[in-house]
Amino acid sequence: MRDPRVVPRVPEARDPTFGPRLRLRERLDGAHRVLAFHAAAIGQTFFVESPRVGLIAFAVLAVAAPLLAASGLVVSVIARLAAERAGASRDFLAQGLVELNGWFFGLACATFFAPGAGLAVAVLLGGPLVAVASIVLGRVLATWDLPVFVGPYVPAFWLVFAALAAFPWARPAVVPATAANDAAPIVLIVVGGLRGLGEIFYVPDARLGVGIALAVTLYDRRLGVALIGASTAAVAIGYLLDAPAWQTEQGLAGYTPALIAVAALRGFAGLGRVAVGVAIVTGAVLEAGMLRLTGALGLYALSSSYLLFVWGVALLRPVRDVAADRRGWSAITVPAHPRVFEH
């Protein structure tokens, strides 16, 4: 029996640095959870719940375009904080949609605003605006059982860009054009297909496209093949239709079909093989149409063709199918405590 007069030695008594080290570890664990959650939200771009995929995609973009990666992450964090302050429900926040839309809003800011005061103001405005747009649009789209996914950031960015364009200190970026290429058609198509994957993050870089395909392949080998195959096929059809050369070289036609292909594999919003085929065949036409329409308004197309396609297919789906598989219409829920290096 232990002598009650003997006071047990606790860790704090043995080691005066125990308390500070414990607090440091708690802070590091908290930072890791935040990083993992935002990485998992980025992974939702490809309809997967893996923080590792999101982290790799972020790292690849950070190498190719560090300003875009930084801007996307900053807006994502601000949007999350703003959504919490706005009283968004815990279930809604757990979906990661606010962070996902903040990520894309930040990418758009760094792409279409020149570095300077305009970009800084856009980033600061973007977080709260994306949070509000995500909450409001989520409630509106629920009426028609439409998925939210990246819907909120598009009108939010249009509003910010149109508003700031009136001020001389908010200079729009000069988007570099792809150099004219006299390579063989097969080379143009293959490189254009890979650039189409880079366009998912607003960077028409074939190397980024390869990195994105490899990132999703780590989760499911079918996803990388689907991305490359759908994007390349859509660019090839655009080439045969004699689409504008710059659109073919940048792979713009491949952006929407590539994401539709992975969405179909992941069972998102009732998309299937027919939807993938239609997206591939119509990708060049739909993208060219949205570019002309938004250009006439002084705006950028962003993900508008992608949104219209998914929402159009969702609205055409029979009501009985919606009731049978409602999970396919909702966003992916990010785990409450995701780990970066878990699948």
Residues of the chain with CATH 1.10.3430.10: 182-330
Confidence class of residue 333 from pLDDT cuts 50, 70 and 90? Answer: very low
DSSP 183: S
Average pLDDT of 32-36? Answer: 74
Confidence class of residue 186 from pLDDT cuts 50, 70 and 90? Answer: very high
Confidence class of residue 319 from pLDDT cuts 50, 70 and 90? Answer: low
**What are residue 251's DSSP bridge partners?**
none
Residue 208 confidence (pLDDT) above 90: yes
Q: What is the pTM of this model?
A: 0.85
CATH fold group of domain 182-330: Ammonium transporter fold (1.10.3430)
Q: How far apart are CA 210 and CA 257, in angstroms?
A: 16
Residues 146 and 329: beta-carbon distance below 8 Å:
yes
b/e burial code for range 270-285 (CB count within 10 A of at least 16 → b): bbeeebbbbbbebbbe
121 alpha-carbon distance from chain centroid = 21
